[in-house]
């Protein structure tokens, strides 16, 4: 099975994010950059599928700047076979990114595309679903279990109030939720091998896609700060203040 895994570069989730005073973006001076954690889960799932089936290919794809090579190399070190970097320095919206990925998919013809359900920087949760529509494929978002029987795929999804199971034929789109798997770390031999794996750059403009953003971020503001309250000395006091002062119980 050929599996395409789109990957995004995001600030490490442990980084404290600060909005720049002029609202133009976030301060990046102390930011460590990593693969979006949900995309790591997607890579892991792809590798497990390939390992279980004993054959196949895992292709990574990213749409971004030169520096994103770093995250693609990390994914290759985890075990992916090769990577594609659609190069652009422009700020694209989700529609443009999905269109570029759709072009790659038409060219690469994967059997399945596995993406993270959301990127932890902009938290949009859109690209997988958009890509599914553009390709006319089934979609299974928020996956916590993915199984195959020949060309049939069954996915258990994390939805409100429980777990939903849906089924469909490949090709299809799956987006990962947290409980799908625990991603492996890149091993030292993996890192050595990754240096020699193919990482192909493709200029975004060459794909013939309208990249003009229809969604623009005009500015960022820091959220209102919540005042820390006070410590109480006992359970009895806690219940009293919740009743008499806060009046919530």
Partner 1 sequence: MGDVLVFAEHQQGKFPKSSLTAILAGQELAQKRGGKAVAVVASDNPDSLASELAKYGCAKVVALAHPALKNYLADAHAQALAALVKSSGAEYVLATATAMGKDLMPRLAARLGAPMASEIVAINEDGTLIRPMYAGNALATIEMDGPVKVVTVRATAFDAAKPADSPAPVEKVNAEIDGASARMQFVAFNQTKSDRPQLIEARIVVSGGRGLKSGDNFKTVLEPLVDEMGAAMGASRAAVDAGFVPNDLQVGQTGKVVAPELYVAVGISGAIQHLAGMKDSKVIAAINKDEEAPIFSVADYGLVADLFKAVPEMVQEVKKLKQS
Q: Is 243 in the site for partner 1 (CB under 8 A)?
A: yes
Q: Is 79 in the site for ligand FAD (CB under 6 A)?
A: no
For partner 1, which residue of 29, 55, 149, 161 counts as binding (CB under 8 A)? 161
DSSP assignment letter at 170: S
CA–CA distance from 152 to each of 3, 6, 122, 159, 169 (Å)? 15, 22, 33, 22, 5
- Taking contact as CB under 8 A, which single stretch among the options 40-48, 65-73, 76-84, 214-222 is the one that binds partner 1? 214-222
Q: Is 91 in the site for partner 1 (CB under 8 A)?
A: no
In the complex, the smallest distance separating the C-beta of residue 163 from partner 1, rounded to whole angstroms, is 4
How far out from the chain centre does Cα 129 lie?
A: 12
Q: Which helix or strand (DSSP H or E) is residue 57 part of?
A: strand 57-64
Per-residue contact track with ligand FAD, 111 to 150, x per CB under 6 A? ---------x------------------------------
Q: Which helix or strand (DSSP H or E) is residue 95 part of?
A: helix 94-108
Separation CA 246–CA 106 (nearest Å): 58
In the complex, the smallest distance separating the C-beta of residue 121 from ligand FAD, rounded to whole angstroms, is 11
For residue 43, the SS3 value is helix
Q: Which helix or strand (DSSP H or E) is residue 249 part of?
A: none
In the complex, the smallest distance separating the C-beta of residue 48 from partner 1, rounded to whole angstroms, is 18
Question: Can you read off the two tokens belonging to residue 31?
Answer: 């930011």
* 88 vs 175 by CB, closer to ligand FAD: 175
Only one residue has tokens 């693609």, namely 72
Cis bond before residue 171 (omega within 30° of 0): yes
Q: Is 201 in the site for partner 1 (CB under 8 A)?
A: no
DSSP assignment letter at 206: G
Q: Is 37 in the site for ligand FAD (CB under 6 A)?
A: yes
Q: Is 31 in the site for ligand FAD (CB under 6 A)?
A: no
The interface with partner 1 within residues 216-235 (CB under 8 A) comprises: 216-223, 226, 228-232, 234-235
Separation CA 2–CA 190 (nearest Å): 20
The interface with partner 1 within residues 4-43 (CB under 8 A) comprises: 11, 13, 16-19, 26, 38
Q: Is 6 in the site for ligand FAD (CB under 6 A)?
A: no
In the complex, the smallest distance separating the C-beta of residue 82 from partner 1, rounded to whole angstroms, is 27
Q: Which residues lie near ligand FAD (CB under 6 A)? A: 13, 37, 120
């Amino acid at each position: 099975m050929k599996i395409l895994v789109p990957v995004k570069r995001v600030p490490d989730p442990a980084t404290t994010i600060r909005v720049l005073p002029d609202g133009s973006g976030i301060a990046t001076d102390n930011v460590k950059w990593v693969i979006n954690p949900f995309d790591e889960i997607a890579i892991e799932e792809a590798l497990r599928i390939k390992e279980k089936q004993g054959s196949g290919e895992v292709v990574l794809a990213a749409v971004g700047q030169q520096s994103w090579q770093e995250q693609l190399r990390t994914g290759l070190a985890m075990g992916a076979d090769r990577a594609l970097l659609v190069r652009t320095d422009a700020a694209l919206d989700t529609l443009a990114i999905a269109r570029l990925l759709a072009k790659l998919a038409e060219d690469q013809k994967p059997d399945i595309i596995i993406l993270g359900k959301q990127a932890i920087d902009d938290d949009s949760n859109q690209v997988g679903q958009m890509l599914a529509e553009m390709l006319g494929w089934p979609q299974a978002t928020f996956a916590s279990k993915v199984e195959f029987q020949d060309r049939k795929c069954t996915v258990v999804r994390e939805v409100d109030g429980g777990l939903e199971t849906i089924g469909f034929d490949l090709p299809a789109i799956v987006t990962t939720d947290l409980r799908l798997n625990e991603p492996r770390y890149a091993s030292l031999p993996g890192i050595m091998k990754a240096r020699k794996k193919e990482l192909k750059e493709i200029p975004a403009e060459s794909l013939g896609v309208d990249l003009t953003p229809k969604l623009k971020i005009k500015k960022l503001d820091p959220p209102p700060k919540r005042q820390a309250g006070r410590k109480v000395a006992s359970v009895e006091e806690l219940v009293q203040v919740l009743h008499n002062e806060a009046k919530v119980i």
